[in-house]
Amino acid sequence: MSSSQEDRLLQWLRGELRKDGSDRIGDDAALLPKAETAITVDHQIAGVHFPTGLDPRVVARRLLAVNLSDLAAMGAVPRYAFLALSSPPDQNVKSFLQALLKACRQADVELAGGDLARSPVLSATLTLVGGKPPRGRWVLRSNGQPGDRLWLGGPVGQSALGRHLLATGAEFQKSRIQLPPDLASDRCLATAARQAIRRHLFPHPQIDLGLWLGRRRRAAAIDISDGLSLDLHRLCRESGVGARLDVEKLPTSRSFLDLCNQLHLKPLDLMLSGGEDYCLLFSLPASIRPPDSYGCSRIGELTRDRSIRQIEGGREGLLEARGWDHLEARS
Amino acid sequence: MSSSQEDRLLQWLRGELRKDGSDRIGDDAALLPKAETAITVDHQIAGVHFPTGLDPRVVARRLLAVNLSDLAAMGAVPRYAFLALSSPPDQNVKSFLQALLKACRQADVELAGGDLARSPVLSATLTLVGGKPPRGRWVLRSNGQPGDRLWLGGPVGQSALGRHLLATGAEFQKSRIQLPPDLASDRCLATAARQAIRRHLFPHPQIDLGLWLGRRRRAAAIDISDGLSLDLHRLCRESGVGARLDVEKLPTSRSFLDLCNQLHLKPLDLMLSGGEDYCLLFSLPASIRPPDSYGCSRIGELTRDRSIRQIEGGREGLLEARGWDHLEARS
């Protein structure tokens, strides 16, 4: 029998998968049944997408969440995952895989294949395959029409705030958040800081909301990964429309604003261009509104005029497309 | 309109794809039509899978070839590719993409989605989706039975020799191979060296052979990525059989042996455990043999006895599973 370290790890992994009644990783490729599919790929690299040294279990969980968010934006049912993982020898690959398997089980996703390697930095690529739900439609970025209402699936800006905190002294270790002394001493600020960091590390992909959108007559959606303004520009470009965004309708909280103030950050910058929010930005015909239980906010509308504008305090101006640029150094 | 560097690159890419009549990269996920699919993922990292500094166009071409080889081993028709690419700022992402697009066109594969990022090392993950051909069967590792003949789709060992040459002074730059003086001065050795390096950098995935196998009554196959002996162990494990490998039947050439001799390398080590050959190792019932045009060699048979043995000079011994271990430092 073969005895390579990789083969032993794969044997263990197949044992785990068989407990869930699945085993697709014994061949050169995984075979999937006949279906219409939506496929998405995302990668997370240490030092680029998350701080070097972050617990690999958190990376695993986050990687799946980020990909699930893409499927949510399509109205797809998550089905299969494929992992390409390269990690330094000192990283525990097995604990990464255990965390990924656990997160997959929770999302009803089957880990169906992958590729392992050693490399100087932890880098993980996940390909996710989603299916078309019965009686569902795909939710496309291009489905928007002038007059549609613009909605936001959750708060924006918190994740960027959490990223900032982690980059400036806060730490997440052994499932606990350690804050710098000046924040830790104020209970309200500390609670807001912990919430922002959790929001950053553990995004909540809005799968159910995506499926609900897919059952509507017409809906356009995008998941906010690179920043509300940048992703709004993308949605509008695909739909061939413009938009008017009512900045005052963006959901926010006192504690978020206080924390931004304390850290000398502009809340609106974080909300409009912070990115990594992983909630849905979507449009619906004026006659349809999402159930209150999804916690969505109406933040504007799509327009025939192709410009993308923000309204604040009764004043209207062009909304710049700013956010995370994957090919630029982050400012 | 959005003006991030990533968006501009994607706009260019979509223009290129539209020339081929395709455009699936404008949404959060790519939509694929209803089909039975085979999906495989491979990644290539600078300094791990190829020398740092290798022309990104070669990396792109090789990445596709390596993935195609997995689909070949399943008897699948290559259809869609998804790329996750992270590269240092000084690398030309566009020339990587151009080379990948060209290789995709040649293989009749559509680039359907992906993810881009900056990172300290060039790292590329490709997910490839293959379809089941009409009247074809999937070719599985587990399809082998005792008494089946064991076949090899092409020469093994050359790629490892090429890798060795690149690690010890040979260079591939501007589409030309530069050899160290002692090799360059001998015409026969130089020809063999160039051939080995080309074999290493530009593998030939055996898609047609895979499709032919899929039209047979029963065939098992694996592509040799990690070494003949290791991959033979894997095929046998999945099929629940053993094997007898006739080492003297492995295809080789005078010039390959001479070059190994010159470099003080054991040819048999390279052939049995060098890896990255990307040709098919397969089994067929005794009554079936592949057309001569595929250039296959019969190298042994599958046995009921689960041991995996090699025969050399009339002597039989256990064949160790040695080869590339993705989780070990390479010896």
At A292, list the tokens.
């209150």
User: Could you say which of A131, A156, A182 is where a domain stops?
Assistant: A131
Domain boundary (A83, A112, A131) is at A131
Q: Considering only CB atoms, which chain A residues are within 8 Å of B4?
A: 226, 230, 321, 323, 325-328
Q: How many domains does chain A have?
A: 2
> How crowded is residue A203: how many other Cβ atoms within 10 Å of its Cβ?
23
Helix (H) or strand (E) holding B62: helix B56-74
**Using a CB-CB distance cutoff of 8 angstroms, which residues of chain A are in contact with residue B142?**
26-27
A44 strand-pairing partners: A124
**Confidence band of A236 (pLDDT split at 50, 70, 90):** very high
A1, pLDDT greater than 50: no
Q: Which of B331, B323, B325 minimizes the C-alpha distance to B271?
A: B323
Q: Is residue B156 domain-resident?
A: yes
Closest chain A C-alpha to B82 CA, distance in angstroms: 7
Question: pLDDT tens for residues A78-106?
Answer: 999 999 999 988 888 899 999 999 999 99
Specify whether B147 is located in the same domain as B120: no
Contact check, Cβ <8 Å, A142/B89: no
> Whole-model pTM above 0.90?
yes
Contact B87, B54 (CB under 8 A): no
Average pLDDT over all residues of chain A: 92
Cα R_g (chain B), whole angstroms: 21
Mean pLDDT, residues A157-175 taken together: 94
Classify residue A329: in a domain, yes or no. Answer: no
State the complex-level ipTM.
0.90
Quick check: A141 and B1 CB within 8 A? no
State the Cα–Cα distance between residues B24 and B26, nearest whole angstrom. 6
Q: With the CA atoms of B144, B145, B149 and B153 taken in that order, what torsion angle do they form, in degrees rounded to the nearest 10?
A: 0
Query: How far does the CA of residue A216 sit from the closest CA of chain B (Å)?
Result: 19
Q: Tokens 């989706």 label which residue?
A: B129
Q: What is the 3-state secondary structure (H, E, C) of A120-171?
A: CCCEEEEEEEEECCCCCCCCCHHHCCCCCEEEECCCCCHHHHHHHHHHCCCE
Expressed in angstroms, the distance from the first to the final Cα of chain A is 52
Q: What is the pLDDT of residue A323?
A: 79
* Co-location of B21 and B151 in the same domain: no
CATH of the domain at A71: 3.30.1330.10
**pLDDT at residue B118, rounded to an integer:** 86
Q: What are phi and psi for residue B122, nearest 5 degrees?
A: -65, 125
Question: pLDDT tier at A327 (50, 70, 90 boundaries)?
Answer: low
- Which candidate in B3, B5, B27, B206 is best for mutational testing of the A interface (most A CBs within 10 A)? B27
CB spacing of A125 vs B321 below 8 angstroms: no
Residues A211-233, mean pLDDT to the nearest whole number: 96
In a domain, A325, yes or no: no
Q: Can you tell me the mean pLDDT for A22-33?
A: 87
For A53-77, how does the pLDDT look when each residue is reduced to its tens digit (9 = 90+)?
A: 889 999 999 999 999 999 999 999 9
Residues A88 and A122 in one domain: yes
Does residue A165 sit in the same domain as residue A307? yes
Structure tokens at B262: 């010159």
- Looking at the fold, whether B52 and B166 belong to one and the same domain comes out as no
* Per-residue pLDDT at B329: 45
> Where are any strands of DSSP class E within B92-167?
110-118, 123-131, 149-152
- pLDDT tens, B129-186? 999 998 999 999 999 999 999 999 999 999 999 999 999 999 998 889 999 998 999 9
**Do residue A271 and residue A151 come from a single domain?**
yes
**Phi, psi dihedrals of residue A258, rounded to the nearest 5°:** -60, -40
B187 backbone dihedrals φ, ψ, rounded to 5°: -60, -40
Are A115 and A155 found together in one domain?
Answer: no
Q: What is the maximum span of chain A, computed from C-alpha positions, in angstroms?
A: 73
Statement to judge: residues A127 and A159 lie in one domain: no
Domain presence at residue A81? yes
- Choose the mutation target among A39, A137, A320 for the interface with B, i.e. most B CBs under 10 Å: A39
Task: Round to whole Å and give the CA distance between B285 and B220.
Answer: 10
Q: Which helix (H) or strand (E) holds B71?
A: helix B56-74
pLDDT score, position A192: 96
Rounded to the nearest angstrom, the minimum Cα separation between B200 and chain A is 19
Q: What is the pLDDT of residue A50?
A: 85
* SS3 readout for A212-278: HHHCCCCCEEEECCCCHHHHHHHHHHHHCCEEEEEHHHCCCCHHHHHHHHHCCCCHHHHHHHCCCCC
How confident is the model at residue A331, as a pLDDT? 34
* A200 and A270 belong to one structural domain: yes
Q: Of B123, B57, B231, nearest to A85 (Cα)?
A: B123
Taking alpha carbons only, the member of B300, B295, B286 closest to residue B153 is B295
**Residues in CB range of A9: below 8 A, 6 or more apart:** A93, A94, A97, A116, B327
What's the CA gap between B39 and B118, in Å, rounded? 26
Q: Residue B15 falls within a domain, yes or no?
A: yes
Q: Is residue A201 part of a domain?
A: yes
**CATH number of the domain within which B226 lies:** 3.90.650.10
Give A124-152 pLDDT, tens digit per residue.
999 999 999 989 999 999 999 999 999 99
- Are both B119 and B145 inside the same structural domain? no
- pLDDT for A329 equals 45
Residue with tokens 């992703």: A231
**At residue A306, what is the residue type?**
R
Nearest to A1 among B89, B138, B237 (CB): B237
Residue B136 within any structural domain of the chain: no
| pLDDT score at B331 | 34
Residues A71, A162 within the same domain: no
Domain boundary among B112, B131, B150: B131
Q: Establish if A330 belongs to a structural domain.
A: no
* List of E strands, chain B: 30-45, 77-87, 110-118, 123-131, 149-152, 171-173, 176-178, 220-223, 242-246, 280-284, 297-303, 308-312, 315-318
Which residue range is the domain that position A123 belongs to?
A: 5-131
Shared domain check, A201 and A98: no
* Regions of chain B short of the pLDDT cut 70: 1-3, 325-331
Cβ within 8 Å, pair B41-A83: yes
- Do B327 and A80 count as a contact with CB atoms less than 8 A apart? no
